[in-house]
Amino acid sequence: MGNQVKTRKKIVVIGAGSASFGLSTLVGIMRTKALHGMELALVDINVDSVNRIKKLAKILNEKWNANIIISATSNRKEVLPGADYIIISIAIDREECWKSDYEIALKYNISHYAENGGPAGFIHSARNISLILPILEDINKLCPNVFLLNFTNPMQRVCTAINKVASIKFVGMCHQIYFGYFILGMAFAKELGINIKEDPRFVWKDEFMDYHFKISDKAMEYFDIKAAGINHFTWMLDVREKKTGRDIYGVLKKKMNDLPPEFEPLTQELFKIFDYIPVAGDCHIAEYLPYTSDLYSETFKKFDIQMYDFKWSYRRRDKMWKDIEMMISGEREVDYLKNARSERAEIIIEHIEKNSNLYESSVNIPNKGCIKNLPDDAIVDVPGVITGNGIIGLAIGDLPKPIAELCNRQLILNDLTVQAVIDGNIKLVYQLFALDPMINNLDTAVNLADEYIKANIKYLPSFQ
Please give the residue that has the higher pLDDT: either 11 or 341: 11
Going by their DSSP bridges, the two strands 358-366 and 379-387 should be labelled as antiparallel
Q: β-strands 39-43, 69-73: how paired?
A: parallel
Provide mean pLDDT across the span 224-231: 98
Model pLDDT, residue 1 = 42
Mean pLDDT of 70-96: 96
pLDDT on residue 200: 87
pTM of the shown model = 0.96
From residue 458, give the alpha-carbon distance in Å to each of 123, 134, 270, 455: 12, 16, 39, 8
Q: What average pLDDT does the chain have? A: 95
Whether the predicted pLDDT of 19 surpasses 80: no
Integer Cα distance of 311 and 319 in angstroms: 12
> Rounded to an integer, what distance in angstroms lies between the CA atom of residue 362 and that of residue 393?
9
pLDDT tens digits, 167-214: 999 999 999 999 999 999 999 999 999 998 888 888 899 999 999 999
Please say whether the beta carbons of 158 and 128 come within 8 A.
Answer: yes
Burial of 390 (0-12, 13-18, 19+ CB in 10 A): middle
pLDDT of residue 2: 46
- Assess contact for 155 and 232: CB atoms under 8 A: yes
